[in-house]
Amino acid sequence: MLVAIFLPGFSPQLMSTSKIEVRNVSKQFDQAGSPVEALADLNLTVNEGEFVSIVGPSGCGKSTLLYMLAGFIPATAGRMLVDGRPVTGPGVDRGIVFQEYALFPWLTVYDNIAFGLREARLPQREVRATAERYIRLIGLTGFESRFPRELSGGMKQRVALARTFAYEPGILLLDEPFGALDAQTREIMQDELLRLWRSTHRTVIMVTHDVSEAVYLSNRVCVMSQRPGRIVQEFMIELDHGLNREEMVLSQAYTAIRNAVWLALRRQVTLASPRAQ
């Protein structure tokens, strides 16, 4: 520790073991000339390999938090550390998946998945092998040369997940990834995400407004307050993830924690809008 302090540019944060640290982060937007406080004094720590979900009332700034972690927009105050280093912009150590898929419409399924691999300047053979492996993994063999417009919503989201998993960022930031899908496709995709996550063991932060989804997928669920958003409650999810979906969803342990998170979120939703009570 002493050595660290005397080395220039070598800060004690490097000693921290957490993958992501958000310390007293605030964010103000300028909306039509008047400042809007999106996040206030938010704290969050995520460990390596953890799957953390963030739920909160609409407009609480949960997506903003994700975009700040991704490096798309800067924080107004506070510190965000990834692997002990402050976030200064986007980086390939953090992959993001959007609700709207954000596939490049002019590229085929194959080229979309290979995009990040090519940007990483991997040898052609490796690009091909990895892209083909992920196409197989998401069950889209035979669809390699289709364009996104020719795919269903579920297929597009599979491609978006595969595109981000393929170049192996250590952290995955998921912004309501299944929000645009119908209920059945959602469940399939959730299990697919679990499978991908377990086989790669990345650190995941997922923003969602679906409590069941958060509880089913995560190790930990954080509940955010109304705007200005901060994390008001955390739930450790200690469920037997060896169970299949039916056993899990019908278990008492799952129901109990799901209800607890639902109630916590509902408290936050109804706090500021009494009519919803």
Partner 1 sequence: MNVIGAILDHGSRLLPFALLLAAWQGVAGSGLADPAFLPSVGAIGHALIDLGATQSFYADLAVTFGRSLGGLALGAVIGIPIGTVMAVSRQAEGFFGPLVKATYSLPKTALVPLLILWLGIGTATNVVAVMLATLLPFVVYTYHGIQGVPRILVWSARAMGVAEHRMLWKVLLPGAQHAMLTGLRIALGFSFVIAIAAEMIAAQTGVGKLMFIYGESGSYNYMFAAVAAIMLLAYVADRITVAVSNRLLRWDDIENRLG
Per CB under 8 A, contacts with partner 1 among 73-132 are 89-92, 94-96, 98, 100, 102, 104-108, 115-116, 119-120
Q: Are 138 and 158 in contact (CB under 8 A)?
A: yes
Q: Least distance in Å: CB of 204 to partner 1?
A: 15
Q: Does 148 bind partner 1 (CB under 8 A)?
A: yes
Strand partners, 29: 36
Q: Least distance in Å: CB of 147 to partner 1?
A: 4
Q: Does 147 bind partner 1 (CB under 8 A)?
A: yes
Query: How many residues make contact with partner 1 (CB under 8 A)?
Result: 28
Residues 6 or more apart from 234 whose CB is under 8 A from it?
Answer: 220, 221, 222, 223
Q: Least distance in Å: CB of 19 to partner 1?
A: 17
Q: Least distance in Å: CB of 137 to partner 1?
A: 19
Q: Least distance in Å: CB of 94 to partner 1?
A: 7
Query: From residue 240, how far is each of 62, 63, 178, 223 by CA, in Å?
Result: 28, 29, 23, 22
Strand partners, 21: 45, 81
Alpha carbons 258 and 245: distance in angstroms, whole number? 14
Closer to partner 1 by CB, 10 or 104: give it.
104
**Quick one: which segment of 17-25, 68-76, 124-132, 234-242 binds partner 1 (CB under 8 A)?**
68-76
Q: Which of 226, 225, 235, 224 is nearest to 258 (CA)?
A: 235
Closer to partner 1 by CB, 147 or 262: give it.
147
Q: Which of 242, 243, 247, 177 is nearest to 213 (CA)?
A: 177
Per CB under 8 A, contacts with partner 1 among 149-188 are 149, 163, 167
Residues 6 or more apart from 187 whose CB is under 8 A from it?
Answer: 245
Q: Cα torsion at 180, 186, 192, 194 (round to 10°)?
A: 100
Sequential DSSP letters for 56-70: -STTSSHHHHHHHHH
Q: Least distance in Å: CB of 98 to partner 1?
A: 6
Q: Least distance in Å: CB of 87 to partner 1?
A: 12
Per CB under 8 A, contacts with partner 1 among 207-236 are none
By CB under 8 A, name the one of 15, 72, 74, 255 that touches partner 1. 72
List contacts with partner 1 (CB under 8 A): 67, 70-72, 89-92, 94-96, 98, 100, 102, 104-108, 115-116, 119-120, 147-149, 163, 167
